[in-house]
Amino acid sequence: MRYKVTLAYVGTAYAGFQSQINARTIQDEIERALLTIFRKPVRIVSASRTDQGVHAYGQVFHFDAPEKDPRKLKYSLNGLLPGDIHINAVEPVSEEFHARYQVRAKTYAYLINNGERDVFYEKRAFQCHYDLDYAKMEECCELFVGTHDFGSFNTSTYEEHPDQVRTIYVCRLVRRGDRLVLLFKGSGFLRHMVRIMTGMIFEVGRGKKTVAEVREFLEHPCKSKRRYNIDPSGLYLLKIDYMNEEDYRLKKERYLYGER
């Protein structure tokens, strides 16, 4: 039986999602709870491996295990998990479903507090006292929308990921007084890509970089430039959208024929 699980967590206390030796991770907490419930080791596969300190409202993972009532499974998991992780939904899915490969789009938000420090956002937003040029930041956001080679905006090499072309559907600055939210929705994001894009937009806001320089980075992908990997604690994985089964089947077929 395959299950799809949607969950939220405060990333502050964890060394990221993915299992690590000698560090506390979200995956370990969940797999430990599943071991207690099913009395045998269960491996989970997540949509996104969020970094240390990154938060999630709508992370997704799947796993295979013997059949159980999904409602009861949700309650058992929440009973076993710590207070900073919460399972929102457990659904039985087709054996074909894959939490990572079937992703159609991911949505992230990055929170910046540009006013007086707010204790309730400690480790939950990036605190910035500098004056920011919001118009310039918006201009920079617009640059990213569309299909580009994001080679200048991530930390994986072309050897690891030969194809660094991704499509950004939404990149927008939302303001509510001193609170800024950078919204990113894209077909996929390479390693540290959201944080590096946020770092660029932020540096443009501070006047440390011009929009023209960012355009140059986008038009001529380059791995040798210093990238500003902004503080992870302002980052939230908001939502994972999945393609339907037919589209996923087509994607797998293209993959078999060596296309991308």
The catalytic residue positions are 51
Q: For the chain, what is the HEC assignment? A: CEEEEEEEECHHHCCCCCCCCCCCCHHHHHHHHHHHHHCCCCCCEECCCCCCCCEEEEEEEEEECCCCCHHHHHHHHHHHCCCCEEEEEEEEECCCCCCCCCEEEEEEEEEEECCCCCHHHCCCCEECCCCCCHHHHHHHHHHHCEEEECHHHCCCCCCCCCCCEEEEEEEEEEEECCEEEEEEEECCCCCCHHHHHHHHHHHHHHCCCCHHHHHHHHHCCCCCCCCCCCCHHHEEEEEEEECCHHHHHHHHHHHHCCCC
Rounded to the nearest whole angstrom, what is the least distance from the CB of residue 122 to a copy of itself in the complex? 5
* Cβ pair 59, 47 in contact under 8 A: yes
Rounded to the nearest whole angstrom, what is the least distance from the CB of residue 146 to a copy of itself in the complex? 32
* Cβ pair 116, 202 in contact under 8 A: no
Q: How far apart are CA 63 and CA 162, in angstroms?
A: 29
Rounded to the nearest whole angstrom, what is the least distance from the CB of residue 189 to a copy of itself in the complex? 22
CB nearer a copy of itself, residue 5 or residue 85: 85
CB nearer a copy of itself, residue 111 or residue 193: 111
Rounded to the nearest whole angstrom, what is the least distance from the CB of residue 117 to a copy of itself in the complex? 5
Rounded to the nearest whole angstrom, what is the least distance from the CB of residue 17 to a copy of itself in the complex? 14
Residue 32 is which amino acid?
Answer: R
CB nearer a copy of itself, residue 101 or residue 121: 121
CB nearer a copy of itself, residue 119 or residue 256: 119
CB nearer a copy of itself, residue 111 or residue 196: 111
Residues that bind a copy of itself (CB under 8 A): 8-10, 55, 78, 83-86, 88, 116-120, 122-124
